[in-house]
Amino acid sequence: MRILVDIPENDIEMLNELSAARRVSRSELVRSAITLYLRTNGSDLTDAAFGLWAARNEDGLVYQKRMRSEW
């Protein structure tokens, strides 16, 4: 997907220098930066759900069987 983003001129200059040093395109640097940002700052649904059942007083298997009995 293509997007339009305003990037300050100083950052563009640094991107140009870094892309030349690493021999990759600016686009690749931006994609890598976005991926890294999302991995470190994005919400991980697994972590968000971990321990979600802890406050319940019912065994998960018992709950599952009860829910399926309604089918």
**Per-residue model confidence (pLDDT) at position 34:** 94
Q: Is 48 exposed, middle or buried (0-12, 13-18, 19+ CB in 10 A)?
A: exposed
Task: Count the domains in the chain.
Answer: 1
> Is 16 a member of any domain?
yes
The better pLDDT of the pair 17, 51 is held by: 17
> Does 47 score more than 80 pLDDT?
no
Q: Is 30 exposed, middle or buried (0-12, 13-18, 19+ CB in 10 A)?
A: middle
Q: Which domain holds residue 39?
A: 7-43
Name the average pLDDT for the chain.
Answer: 89
> Is 71 a member of any domain?
no
The better pLDDT of the pair 57, 50 is held by: 57
